[in-house]
Amino acid sequence: MSQTVSEQLVGVLEQVGVKQIFGLIGDSLNPLADAVRRSSIEWVGVRHEEGAALAASGQAKLTGGLGVCAGTTGPGSTHLVAGLYEAARDHAPVLALSGDMPRALQGTDFIQTTNPDLLFRDVCVYTQTLMSAAQAAPVIHQAIAAAFAAPGPAHLTLPQDVLSLKTDHDAYSIPTLRPRPEIIASEEDIAAAARMIDEAESIVVMCGAGCRGATELLREFSDRLKAPLIHSVRGKELMPYDEPRWMGGIGMIGTKPVYRAVQDCDLLIMLGTDYPYPEFLPKDAKTIQIDVRPQVLGRRTGTRLGILGSVIPSVRRLLEHIAEKSDRVFFDKLAAARRDWDDMLDKQADLSRSADIIHPMAVARCVSNHARQDAIFVLDTGLNTLWSANWIRQTGAQRIIGSFNNAAVGTSLGQANGIQALDRSKQVIALTGDGGFNMLMGEFMTAVHHKLPVKVIVYNNSALGLITLEAESVGLVPFKEAIEFPNPDFAALARACGGHGFTAHKPGELEAAIAGALAVDGPAIVDAVVAADEMPNMPHVDLEKAKGYALAKIKETLQRVTGS
């Protein structure tokens, strides 16, 4: 049966399970919008196209399914690009749709002219312009297939007149449009890994996002090897914080005991992680890395054995080849040190620590204590990431999403909106610094408009806290005029938008504000005014950075004394 290109595209999206398209309508997208209006897909109108790309990215990160965003001609499409880097860097399948001027106007320097295929080439795994109705079916298929295969964002440019054309070419091969299957490591690699494991005495197993679904296997693996399990920040959510094998993270979002264990072990096994900070990885230990991405094997630290394979089938096969170990000394030593570290975190997050000042770690712990057992936390980027990721005590059923590879400020609310749209009964909590919230605060109106009950917790210190820390680490006095800023009353802003607003200026107000926000029906903001000069824990600081902090503090003291 004959249908328009728009109808064909929307029909394919329905068949691959797309529930929402996030975007802003413009004239070039009117044919697409009309097809969406007559479909089962919900159009979620955002306040900024970057918010649309972030929402689609958040969905794709959470589920592995296809997220979809759209922007109209020219600036409407260019705004998508920044948000699409979330999908690119976290390997999430997203389809970005760009409206464009009719073909007859292209090449004439018409208003809002861009070259979308060139523009999207850096961030997308596939980009193509539809120039005919006959081209639509194979190109739509290719774009979605590429997004799932990478995985990552793919992009289509859709001239307005092409969207309205009739096509007799049916969409095809829809069942092939799905996430890529797992692959098992070769028998040769499994045998080599088993030999290295059997020869090692002290082993650490580092777990990343590629370990999703493997928790019971990881427990068995740990027990067989008497090896502690540690995690990257994207792996934190996999097990409960109080799981005895789950020793904590590495790096700034991590612990000193874990850092020492990684440095002291004689075999590190990296499972489904491309942890980007080599200074926290061992320089002398043997390393085995298992990952489905061949390009990441061995690129972060010296690696004795790089194995191409998915974690679940590869670890399951490994368990058939390795002998059980009996020596628990290394494991028990780390477990004891981990308990001491956790005690320190508890004291730092204790609300009774101060009568007048809210310490930011107390905000994260309070949110963690009041969140539902299956809540979804969406973290922003900055110093607030350290507070949230280090002090949230996850249940193992909760999810933790963030800009962990792109490390972009201002991404949490957009991603939270996309995640919340999948299920409005879920508890979705965005934790953000005030700097990040200011960037795309208009997306709170998206939440209000579409009845997305996202809860936003703002660490309000009237500054870009991480920028301060980074300046001091190299011995510089922070440029306060560029780093510090005034804020609106975020709780009043929430109410003005039609949501709920709560404020906590003192420790005694924090618990009621957070509990109240999490209990209300609808979107809410908690304005938590926190100490601006709080320093995070440093699991490892090299000598040069230690000198930098000391020098910066001396300079800051002199500046206050002299007034210059």
Q: What is the pLDDT of residues 167-212, one digit of tens each?
A: 988 888 999 999 999 999 999 999 999 999 999 999 999 999 999 9
Same domain for 212 and 253? yes
Same domain, 405 and 386: yes
What pLDDT score does 553 carry?
A: 43
Residue 181 is assigned to a structural domain of this protein: no
Whether residue 368 sits in one domain with residue 274: no
Query: What is the domain-level CATH number for residue 257?
Result: 3.40.50.1220
306 and 276 in a common domain: yes
233 has a pLDDT exceeding 70: yes
Q: Quick one: pLDDT at residue 283?
A: 82
Q: How many domains does the chain have?
A: 3
| One domain, residues 135 and 99 | yes
547 pLDDT above the threshold of 60: no
- On whether both 164 and 204 belong to a single domain, the answer is no
Residue numbers of the domain that contains 197: 187-338
pLDDT tens digits, 462-474: 866 555 655 555 5
Residue where a domain terminates, one of 176, 196, 217: 176
Residues 8 and 124 in one domain: yes
- The residue among 117 and 109 whose pLDDT is bigger is 117
CATH number at residue 17: 3.40.50.970
Does 121 map to a domain? yes
What pLDDT score does 475 carry? 61
Task: Say if 562 falls within a structural domain.
Answer: no
pLDDT band at 405 (very low <50, low <70, confident <90, very high): very high
Higher pLDDT, residue 457 or 545:
457
Distance from C-alpha of 155 to C-alpha of 139, rounded to nearest angstrom: 10
Segment 523-534, tens digit of pLDDT? 999 999 999 888
Co-location of 31 and 167 in the same domain:
yes
Give residue 486's pLDDT.
83
The three-class DSSP label of residue 82 is helix
- pLDDT-derived band at 483, boundaries 50, 70, 90: low
pLDDT in tens, 318-367: 999 999 999 999 999 999 999 999 999 999 999 999 989 999 999 999 99
pLDDT at residue 564, rounded to an integer = 52
Half-sphere exposure of 158 (CA within 13 A, CB side): 36
Question: Average pLDDT of the chain?
Answer: 91
In a domain, 343, yes or no: no
Between CA 449 and CA 426 the distance in angstroms is 18
In this structure, is residue 97 part of a structural domain?
A: yes
pLDDT the model gives residue 171:
87
DSSP 181: P
The verdict on 279 and 354 lying in the same domain is: no
pLDDT the model gives residue 476: 60
> Both 87 and 133 in a single domain?
yes
558 pLDDT more than 50: no
- Examine residue 563 and state whether it is found in any structural domain, yes or no: no
pLDDT score at 549: 42
Q: Do 195 and 298 reside in the same domain of the chain?
A: yes
- One domain for residues 334 and 356: no
Tell whether 455 is covered by a domain: yes
Token representation of residue 487: 């804020």
Q: What is the DSSP letter of 442?
A: T
Give percent of the chain above pLDDT 70: 90
Chosen domain end from 176, 211, 230: 176
* DSSP codes of every residue in 381-445: SSHHHHHHHHH----SSSEEEE-TTT--TT-HHHHHHHHHHH-TTS-EEEEEEHHHHHHTTTHHH
- Provide, rounded to the nearest whole percent, the portion of the chain with pLDDT above 90: 80
Is residue 501 within 8 A of residue 525, CB to CB? The reply is yes
In a domain, 13, yes or no: yes
- pTM (two decimals): 0.91
Q: What is the C-alpha separation between 368 and 539, in angstroms, rounded?
A: 22
pLDDT interval class at 555 (50, 70, 90):
very low
pLDDT single digits (tens) 37-57: 999 999 999 999 999 999 999
Final residue of a structural domain among 338, 363, 380: 338
